[in-house]
Structure 1
Amino acid sequence: MKKKWKASDKANFFLNLSRLLERGYTLHHGASLLGIQDGPYAKSIIANWLTALGEGKSWGEALERLELPNDIQAYLFFSERYGRLNRGFYYAGRMLKEREKIKQQFMTIARYPILLIWIIAMLFSFMVFFVFPQFEALFQTMDIEYPAITTMTFLFFQSIPYGFLLLLIVITIGVIYYYGSFKNKTSLQQYHLILKIPLINRLLRMYLTYSFSLQFGQLLKGGLHVLDVLTVFVDQSRLSIFKEEGERMKEELNEGLQFPDVVVNSGCYTAEFKEIIQHGQQTGKLADDLIHYSEMLWKDLLQRVQQITMTIQPILFLVIGLFMLLLFLSIFLPIFQLITSIDAY
């Protein structure tokens, strides 16, 4: 019996459930039908979820039975509010599927470099404990100095324990900071701190803007007004950043600020997001523009992540290649120097 419902299987379940709902199936009928194909453990989770709904549990409480990430639960929570569960299941399935695809790509890319790193680590250990001590004794006996590259390599090996000690100190400081300060901040404050990290700044802004524009646009499409949408944001608890954003935006709108200005005041979204909202308001198609913009962001985000994963492998191979070259030279240059010294005698 499988003890885990894989994310890829959950993605297929949501995508297939979305199709069944579009064809007129009820939620209970479609989910029960699909559960038969997903194995005993998945079937039990689905049955538990449907039972919770049948017992009158709220949609948000029932979603917890599906063992989903918070952001996926939030998407499904919003989809129930705008009355389009089929779209909510589609977006949830798509996101889970793309995450698994990126995860598999990363694992494939990292598999061989990790193997090579392990081999190099074993060779380095062999050199530190066996080769270099022999070289050192032999060179001292013959009164010959090490080649410069071998000396550098030897110093590098000697500094490795200090590097691990420094890493341990950094990790300890990071853990203390997380539990002592970072964890106690609001979600908005936490995101502002993370957005200061250059390498992930753009990606995080794109993801937050994608999530906000997709859910906001779908809720508007479902017939809600801006203030009603923000109330839905406040009512959900799965994405605390949007709960806080909903509270902030409602407060600023009540103070008389314009909606485009209110949205970008947090500083968490893409630079062009304000113009997208203004264009949607001017044309009377704010919901459509937000949904369309979220699709553009999703494609761009996936493309950027895939580019990053594809760039990691050659960088890893380059670093590993340099270490292999260093290892080769640090071994064979002393041997060559010894042979030259013997010939000189």
Structure 2
Amino acid sequence: MKRNSWTVEEQAYFLKRTGELLGRGYPLTEAIESLIFYLPEKKQKQIQNCLAELKEGYPLFQILAGLHFHKDLVGYVFFAEQHGGLAAAFQDASEIMLKRNKDLQRLLKLLYYPAVLIFITIVLFFFVENLLLPKFITLFRSMNLEENFFTQVVYLFGKLLPLFLAGVIIVSASTFLYHFVFFRKKTPLEQKKKLIVLPYVGPLLKMLYSHYFSVQLSYLLSGGLSIFEALHLFEQNSQQPLYKQAGAEIKRKLIGGERLETILASLPIFEKELATIIKHGQENGRLDKELYFYSRFCLERLEALTEKTLKILQPLLYLLIGLLIVSMYLAVLLPMFHLLDGI
């Protein structure tokens, strides 16, 4: 199918409502058919095509992938179709994606207004630094007055800002070049190993990977599959190359005689706690429940880390804006006061 206009929020709500109907005893086709009437006309036609493909025997995850649904949502559907817990998995997937989308919207909203203010302030700063201050400096020199400290600071900042912007452009271009020349050629596992060492972003990614792996493994084990069978399904998940490769790697090492907790502890993309949880769950015979509890714990920590980041980022942005605005006033007023002192 052609690329459509389904937003992540619309995708999540579609799965959420489908999961609710499945939980009330609806068969999958009837649940999806019941939702058609609540969708715009264009999406109604797409869902009708989905129903036709479902009746022809195509799996739902493949149909949603054709509609370009988010890969994480498609992954949830893929695993849910293997273990049979469609209702719970759909609602969990929608809950996680809605929270993630809400956090992203909050971050964009948080950055938008300060970014506009910073841009306007920088434009005004260039105006002051290139038009007003040179006139003051010329006047100071004609009256044999020394430049004040702040005027010198403003000039220094004016010289450093272009260098800073040039540095940002060079770093961005180098990153872009590295991505297309080297990074894209690495395996998904190698790519994520590079990303998790990044400050601030790395811990969030590790928590996200640990959450997704643990919740899907929990669902598969609770559906009656063995660990080996569950890993085989991870290996078959072509929609998510990272978990496909991770599943194949863990499976290969299990065949080689290594213990599951030892293998997971050696994979840097997962939190160290995951290996401990695996070992504890195997010892008490409740591995599926331990993994599910751990996945909820990861989700709570992700929310806490996101909230903490937003609380730190917001004051820093407004502090920067405040300093720039105060600098603007001082850049204009101090030379005037200095000029009056010399008269």
Q: Name the TM-score class by shorter chain.
A: over 0.9
Q: Is 1:320 the equivalent of 2:321?
A: yes
Contact 2:129 2:154 in 1 (8 A): no
Contact 2:219 2:288 in 1 (8 A): yes
- 2:319 aligns to what SS in structure 1? helix
TM-score, normalization: structure 2? 0.93
Contact 2:231 2:251 in 1 (8 A): yes
Residue 220 (structure 1) aligns with: 221
1:53-93: per-residue Cα shift (whole Å, max 9, x none)?
A: 23333444212133212122111111111111112211221
Residue 201 (structure 1) aligns with: 202
Report deviation, 1:303: 1.6
Residue 56 (structure 1) aligns with: 57
Residue 192 (structure 2) aligns with: 191
Report deviation, 1:94: 0.9
1:103-162: per-residue Cα shift (whole Å, max 9, x none)?
A: 222233224322321331232132134212322332232232221111111221133222
Q: Which runs of 4+ in 1 moved over 6 A?
A: none
Distance 1:133 1:40, change over 3 A: farther
| Residue identity matched to 1:255 | G
How many equivalent residue pairs? 340
Residue 238 (structure 2) aligns with: 237
Residue 136 (structure 2) aligns with: 135
Q: Distance in 1 between matches of 2:121 and 2:45?
A: 46
1:145-224 equivalence runs, <5 A: 145-224=146-225
Residue 247 (structure 1) aligns with: 248
Q: Distance in 2 between matches of 1:123 and 1:276?
A: 56
Residue 99 (structure 2) aligns with: 98
Distance 1:304 1:286, change over 3 A: same
Moved more, 231-240 or 161-170: 161-170
Distance 1:144 1:44, change over 3 A: farther
Contact 1:139 1:146 in 2 (8 A): yes
Report deviation, 1:230: 0.7
Report deviation, 1:235: 0.5
Q: Distance in 1 between matches of 2:278 and 2:322?
A: 49
Q: Distance in 2 between matches of 1:212 and 1:281?
A: 17
TM-score, normalization: structure 1? 0.93
Contact 1:19 1:86 in 2 (8 A): yes
Q: Distance in 1 between matches of 2:67 and 2:311?
A: 33
Q: Distance in 2 between matches of 1:118 and 1:46?
A: 44
Q: Distance in 2 between matches of 1:96 and 1:221?
A: 23
Q: Which blocks of at least 5 consecutive residues in structure 1 are unaligned? A: none
How high is the sequence identity, in percent, across the aligned residues?
30
Q: Distance in 2 between matches of 1:41 and 1:306?
A: 37
Residue 73 (structure 1) aligns with: 74
Residue 294 (structure 1) aligns with: 295
CA RMSD of aligned residues (A): 1.7
Q: Which blocks of at least 5 consecutive residues in structure 2 are unaligned? A: none
Contact 1:109 1:310 in 2 (8 A): no
